[in-house]
Chains A and B, each alone.
Chain A
């Protein structure tokens, strides 16, 4: 199940970009394809909600890309320099 925890800010996604790259797909169209409400797509794009793994895979499959092309982990500089 998804999360509303603090880790959300460290995971970025390109859902909005990918939507526009796919014939300017609307949020409602994407929501219908992956089986969630439009509000959930809005929350995902704003980084307010982390999806479950099945939903993340469905999103990636909808855009025809790998899951890491949709979601990227932002590693803090303090961790990368160590």
Chain B
């Protein structure tokens, strides 16, 4: 498994942990459960997977190509989701003259982050999955 794959699995794990934490806390803490988004800060440890080790290639040109394509895909999805919620869902739920609650605006920042990291990680794993099986 390459460093990029490990990082992708790590990202998905952190996101799953964050969503589970929020889901568990909501019944007892209400909106305070949104503090669970703080777990996303652990994503910042991802670069540790790319530490240089002597005599070992951590990230080569194919990995970079896969990473670039994955980020492009993730931002495209994020843009579609953001536009859909900003332009359609918010107006249909709160009305064109309504007001979006502050906690939703706050959460949308973290949800956007989750969408980008999750889509990017899934795209990375799918691209590696489409690659060749181990040979000789």
Among candidates A27, A36, A45, residue contacting B61 with C-beta atoms closer than 8 Å: A36
Complex Cα distance, B128 from A46, in Å, reads 13
- Residues of B within 8 A of A (CB-CB), count: 20
B53-71 vs A: 1/0 string, CB under 8 Å? 0010100111111100100
Closest CB-CB distance, B136 to chain A, in whole Å?
7
Return chain B residues, CB-CB under 8 Å to A39: 2, 62, 128, 131
Asked if B61 and A52 make an inter-chain contact with CB atoms under 8 angstroms apart, the answer reads yes
Complex Cα distance, B6 from A3, in Å, reads 22
Chain A interface residue number, banded:
20 to 34
| Interface residue ranges of B86-133 to A (CB < 8 Å) | 127-128, 130-133
A8-47 vs B: 1/0 string, CB under 8 Å? 0000000010000000000100011001110110110110
Return chain B residues, CB-CB under 8 Å to A27: 135-136
Asked if B62 and A40 make an inter-chain contact with CB atoms under 8 angstroms apart, the answer reads yes
